[in-house]
Chain A
Amino acid sequence: MSTTAPSVQAPAVPRTATWRERISNPWGRPRFLAITTWLYILWSLLPVLLAIRFAFNSGRSRTSLQGWSLRWFWEDPTLSVFNDPTLQQALKHSIELALIVMVVAMPLGTALALGMRRWIGPGSGVANIVLLLPLVTPELVFAVGMFLLFTTAFGFIGLGTTAQAIGQVTFTLSWVVLIIRGRLATIGKDVEEAAADLGAPPMHVVGRVLLPLLVPAMAASLLVAFALSIDDFVVSQYLASGADTTTVPMRIYSQARGGPTPALNALATIMLLVSLLALVLAYVVFRALTRGEQSDRGSAFKQLATDLG
């Protein structure tokens, strides 16, 4: 009794928080959230880091650490990525294919997205769903179908690079359309109407207003197309015609069963670098293109991230 009474009038003494308050303080930093996030990031990076580590292994093993070297990149006269013609061929073909897919899927997807926006009426709803179908179809089913198509009805095309490119463009297109349409939705119809109102014929509305506003999304979809193609295994595998149409994922998969060497890790590391480079490049280009559209820094990245879905 006598101890509680004066403490009411006493000036507030900074009281050390109980540990219960520390844990459940709603004004504090969300520690658990941060810890969980970092744990997840570490966990997801771990296999990648491990794979990269073994790319620099000086021994032949892909399981035990044997010092550091660049042997599997180019120093080894026969087995390194640089000197093994099969690995080199796979890398070349993968990048070639990815470039073709990028350059075909982006303009095609953009045109499709613009067309879908104009198309109101019966059928447009169905077309919408069909366009997005490849996003959810099992890739294997899609690839088997494609394989049958190119060996029967479209036999004149046959298997090989062309078939692989067509196959990859087909499913990449859905992503491109998704990205472009997302951006179109934020652009809004009123800008188009304003341009027409000011005298611009339909082609100019697209050329002078819509396309410039779509450039960031187009850059994003280029990147996505590239990444999807580089990553693709199932479609490339089914539609390949021989050694010269083997992609990196296919090569890694087949060699992993034969005599795997850290050269495969080196190859994967190179692919990772190429992808990262593409991302950085896209970001730089994006920043340059959207300058002035947003005022705050870092928003370009956010916009890119939104456009990437």
Chain B
Amino acid sequence: MSEGDIRLVGLVKRYHDVTAVDGIDMHIPAGEFFTMLGPSGCGKTTTLRLIAGFERPDDGKILLDGNDMSRTPPHKRRVNTVFQSYALFPHKSVHDNVGFGLRYQRVTKAEAERRVQEACAMVRLQGLEHRRPGQLSGGQQQRVALARALVLEPPVLLLDEPLGALDARLRLDLQVELKRIQEQLGVTFIYVTHDQDEALTMSDRVAVMRGGQIEQCAEPRELYEAPATAFVANFLGASNLVPVSVTEANGDGARLGLGSFTLRAETCALPAGADAVAMIRPENVRLEEHGSQGENRMPGMVEEVVYLGFHQEVRVRLATGTLLKVDVPNEADAIEPEQGDPVSVHMPPKHLRVLAADAAVPAAHTTAAVEQVPAA
């Protein structure tokens, strides 16, 4: 059996009267690239620090391959961390930074040397071994931090926003590299980020967190296409959240009331009579000529057109007053909507998802991706 299976059972962490982690149950099988995603203060970093051992849980268990390690001090835990701040030792060379932890493993000098060289090669740091961290760029420092943790061959690697301090271009490069290393070594990665793109591109599974709890845990595609809650839909990518009421619900789907209009959705988990929001991604809304007939079509007026290169974002004010965001690709024969044009929007039933209304998530007016807040 391969190592690196992590199970969190009813994990709780409180700071005075603030509950940072509020009863998390989670299973991360060995070798998975698992991401905890959420806004600042959602408890993702605290959860990671609990797994690393920097904080003591108030309740619950942390099982690594079946053994509870919640009472084990960090230096005896077989997990290693890559910090957002890198946390390199400024007085030691790259070589000595990478070799730091090997002293606590039973390896010969020659073996230690070989592993340091290997780790440096894996993160492409050859030739820089004798530099001090202060003489390296941000990206290089991050590689040292990675090598320093990986050289110990931990079954689980914890990464706390490791790319948070790097510029966009470097982030993309390192994302690819991280994924490559993770697949090559088969190590369990537990990755914390507030960047949805990072989460979607690298992860096998993503847990979206909110208020110390897990809102939804699923594969990236499912998370994006079938968000379980309005919060997840709103946090991941752009979405239209239209407040509706469920007028009829059965196995085939539901009928939704929006003003005097009726929409049909193919799936609906809510009972009739419930207050709900209908979620549809801007790229799934079709813009049609004014007056076109058929189900799930509503008249509206173009309020604003934003040119974004390969597509344009068209904001349509529906007859009910709701503002709907529509992504129109810039194809050769696309219609060119202009401000003030009357149009008809088509919301295909299979793309319309019915979610429970959530007071904390702004609906009615469509919202863009949640503002990126640095540091959790």
| Interface SS of chain A | helix
A293 at interface by CB-CB < 8 Å? yes
Q: How far is the CA of A42 from the CA of B320 in the complex (A)?
A: 80
- Is A194 part of the contact surface with B, judged by Cβ < 8 Å? yes
Inter-chain contacts of B132 with A (CB < 8 A) = 292-293
Residue contact A295 to B135, C-beta cutoff 8 Å: yes
Decide yes or no whether A197 CB sits under 8 A from chain B.
yes
| Residues of B with C-beta under 8 A to A191 | 87-89
User: With the chains together, A213 CA to B90 CA distance in Å?
Assistant: 8
Q: Contact residue range for chain A?
A: 20 to 34
A-side residues, CB < 8 A to B, are 188, 190-191, 193-202, 208-209, 212-213, 292-295
Q: For the complex, what is the distance from the CA of A306 to the CA of B103, rounded to whole Å?
A: 34
User: Inside 8 A of A202's CB, which chain B residues have their CB?
Assistant: 75
Q: How far is the CB of B58 from chain A (nearest CB, A)?
A: 16
Which of B78-86, B196-204, B366-374 is near enough to bind chain A?
Answer: B78-86
Given contacts A194-B89, A198-B101, A200-B75, 10 further A-B contacts (CB under 8 A): A194-B81, A197-B74, A198-B80, A199-B76, A199-B101, A200-B100, A200-B104, A208-B100, A212-B91, A293-B132
Given contacts A193-B83, A293-B91, contact A198 B149 (CB under 8 A): yes
Whether A193 contacts B152 by the Cβ 8 Å rule is no
The 9 closest A-B pairs by CB, nearest first: A198-B101, A199-B104, A194-B87, A190-B87, A292-B132, A196-B74, A196-B75, A197-B81, A212-B91
Q: Is the CB of A195 within 8 A of B91?
A: no
In the complex, the answer to whether B134 meets A295 with C-beta atoms within 8 Å is yes
Partner of B52, one of A197, A213, A292: A197
Does B73 lie at the interface of the complex (its beta carbon under 8 Å from any beta carbon of A)?
yes
Question: B-side interface residues toward A, CB under 8 Å?
Answer: 52-54, 73-76, 79-81, 83, 85, 87-91, 100-101, 103-105, 132, 134-135, 148-149, 152
CB neighbours of A193 from chain B (8 A)? 52, 54, 74, 81, 83, 87
Show 13 A/B contacts (Cβ-Cβ < 8 Å), sorted by A: A188-B85, A193-B52, A193-B74, A193-B83, A193-B87, A194-B148, A195-B100, A196-B53, A196-B54, A196-B75, A198-B101, A199-B104, A213-B90
Minimal Cβ-Cβ distance residue in A for B81: A197
Residue numbers in B under 8 Å from A209 (CB-CB): 89
Query: How long is the Cα–Cα vector from A208 to B148 in the complex, in angstroms?
Result: 16
Q: In this complex, which of A188, A199, A201, A202 has the most chain B Cβ atoms within 10 angstroms of its Cβ?
A: A199
**Is B101's CB under 8 angstroms from A190's CB?**
no
Contact B83 A293 (CB under 8 A): no
Rounded to whole angstroms, the CA-CA distance of A197 and B104 in the bound complex is 11
Chain A residues near B79 (CB-CB < 8 A): 197
Interface core residue of B52, B83, B88, B90 (most chain A CB under 10 Å)? B90
Q: Do B75 and A201 have beta carbons less than 8 Å apart? A: yes
